[in-house]
Amino acid sequence: MKLVAIYECLCDPTRARIVNLLYSRSLCVGQMQEILGEPQVKISKHLNYLKARRMVEVHSEANWRIYRLPAKRSPELAANLACLRECLEGDRLIKRDNLRLATVRECGETKEKALPTTPVEVPSKPAPRKRQFLKNKPLPVKQPTISPLASREDSFLIIPQRSFPL
């Protein structure tokens, strides 16, 4: 891997944070989203950028795509990853990311599955919904107003105003 390509990948703060997380373990997009506090679209965009430059590998597991750093790393990449870890260890965001990484749920585990819950009774059949049709309801009519467009004092135009439900 070329040295310039490595630096291009690590020059963005979000990509550097992603690489730092993947240095510790493999993660799916949802886990990275939870740790970094960034939108899924932004994380996916950066992961595609890293994947196109062979900085990350991806494999599918059920419905999730799991990302990791390459197993076979060039000497340049290995040296720069070690340097990145050392340089970023004092950064406030990296410290927060590492703390969140320790508590992140597994891929596919929802908040409901992760937290103990009490059982809730669910009715077997939902109550029927009342249907309301516009044609059965009269439209409210407001008082007519005199138009300011009247040309003579003895003639005027009456415009009825109606309210239409949205």
Q: For 106-137, how does the pLDDT look when each residue is reduced to its tens digit (9 = 90+)? A: 776 655 444 444 454 555 566 666 555 555 66
Has this prediction a pTM greater than 0.75? no
Q: Does residue 30 contact residue 64 with C-beta atoms inside 8 Å? A: yes
Q: How many CB atoms lie within 10 A of CB 82?
A: 11
CA angle (71 as vertex; 65, 77 as ends), nearest 5: 110
Which among 19, 42, 39 is positioned nearest to 101, based on CA atoms? 19
Q: What is the mean pLDDT of the chain?
A: 77
Residue type, 53: R
Q: Is 152 helix (H, G, I), strand (E, B) or coil?
A: coil
Tell me how far CA of residue 1 lies from CA of 6, 12, 15, 81, 129, in angstroms. Answer: 7, 18, 17, 13, 62
> What are 71's two structure tokens?
């197993």
pLDDT at 158: 55
- CATH level 3 topology of 3-111: Arc Repressor Mutant, subunit A (1.10.10)
pLDDT digits (tens, 9 = 90+) for 43-81: 999 999 999 988 999 988 888 889 999 988 888 888 988
